[in-house]
Amino acid sequence: MKRMRFLAPLLILPAVALFFIVGCPDPAKDKNKPKDAVTADADKNKDKDKDKDKGKGGTVEITTQTDGTIKGVVKYDGTPPEAKPLDVGDHKDKKTCLAGTGIHVVDQTWLVKDGNVANVVISLGPPAGKKFKITPELKKPFETTTVFMDQPFCTYVPHVAAVYADIQDFVVKNSAAISHDVTISGNKNALSNTNLPAKSGETVKQTEPRKFEMESGPINVTCNIHKGFMTAKVLTFNNPYFAVTDENGAFEIKNVPVTEEITIFMWHESMSGGRGEAKKLTLKAGETQSVELKISAPKK
C-alpha cells in the first residue's frame, strides 16, 4: 500500500505534461486571427451548407428584372379533327341545350379555328436549380381578377380555365334558361351538388367566390343535371406565369424574368401524360418574343 501511494503522483505527471503539450481550445484564438481569415472560414462553411442544400434539391431565386413578355399562338399540326355535335341524347333539356350556336353545340375537346387551337394551357418554368421570385406586385393583378365560368346553354364557357392557387377567386355562374348543378372534383378542392337555378330576368345565379388549393393535375367541373356531356377543366398554378389560349389560339404572359432560360410548357385535355415541354427561350430586357407552338391529337 505504501508503494502504491508513492507511485500515484508519478502516474499523474505524464497526463499533466500531455495536457500542456497538446493544449486546449482557446475561445480567444479567433480574436487574435486576422479578420479576413475569420470571414474566409465562415464563407467556407456557408459554401459547404450550400452544397448540402444542392444535394437536397435546394433552389436559388431568380432576381433579374421581370419586364419580358411571351406571346404567341398554338396551331394544330396537321389536319384538325372535325367538330363533333354535342351529344345530349334524349335529355329533357335537349331543345334548350341545343338552342345556341358555335361552340355551344359542339364537343369542346378540340376547338380549332383557322388552324389555331383554343383551350390550351400555357405555363412557364424556370431553369434547373432555380425558382421564380414572386413579389407582391406580381400577385396583385390576380388578387383583384376573378375567373368566371358560365353555363349559357349546356356547355361551360370557357371550357378550360386556369387560376393562381390560394390567390385568385373562381366563380361559376348560370346565364341559361334552365337550371344547372355544379360539382367540382379535386383531391383538395371538392364541391358537391351546388344548384344554380335558371336565369330570372337580369338575375344570374352564381357560386360563392372560392380559391383553389394547388393541385398537381386538372380539376374536373361537371353538371349532374346534364351528366355525361357537360364538363370543364380547371388547372391551378403557384406562380403568375400561365395563360389559356383564346378562341383564336392566342396567349400572352407578361412580367417574365429576362436573361434566364425559360421553358414553355403546354397542356391540353387530350394529353394523358401531363404538360409537355414545347420550347425554351431567353428574353432580353424589355423584350417581347412571339412564338408559334404546335399541337396535335395523340395517336391512338
DSSP state at residue 275: -
Q: Which residues contact 257 (CB under 8 A, 6 or more apart)?
A: 62, 64, 65, 66, 68, 126, 132, 133, 283
Q: What is the pTM of this model?
A: 0.80
* pLDDT for the residue 150: 97
Q: Name the residue among 98, 103, 283 with its Cα closest to residue 178.
A: 98
Tens of pLDDT, residue by residue, the chain (300 residues): 444 444 444 444 444 444 444 444 454 445 454 545 444 555 555 444 444 433 344 589 999 999 999 999 999 999 999 889 999 999 999 999 999 999 999 999 999 999 999 999 999 999 999 999 999 999 999 999 999 999 999 999 999 999 999 999 999 999 999 999 999 987 787 777 799 999 999 899 999 999 999 998 999 999 999 999 999 999 999 999 999 999 999 999 999 999 999 999 999 999 877 789 999 999 999 999 999 999 999 887
Please give the pLDDT value at position 187. 75
pLDDT, residue 49, reads 46
Class of domain 60-295: mainly beta
Q: How many CA atoms lie within 13 A of 22 on its CB side?
A: 8
CB neighbour burial string for 134-159, b if at least 16 within 10 angstroms, e if fewer: beeebbeebeeeebebbbbbbbbbbb
Which H, E and C letters describe 8-70, residue by residue? HHHHHHHHHHHHHHHCCCCCCHHHHCCHHHHHHHHHHHHHHHHHHHHHCCCCEECCCCCCEEE
Predicted local confidence at residue 9, as pLDDT = 46
Given this model, what pLDDT does residue 3 score? 46
For residue 137, the one-letter residue type is: E
Residue 201, Cβ neighbours under 10 Å: how many?
5
How many distinct helices (H) and strands (E) make up the chain?
Answer: 5, 20
Give the per-residue pLDDT at 56: 40
- 232's grid cell: 370543364
Q: What is the pLDDT of residue 13?
A: 45
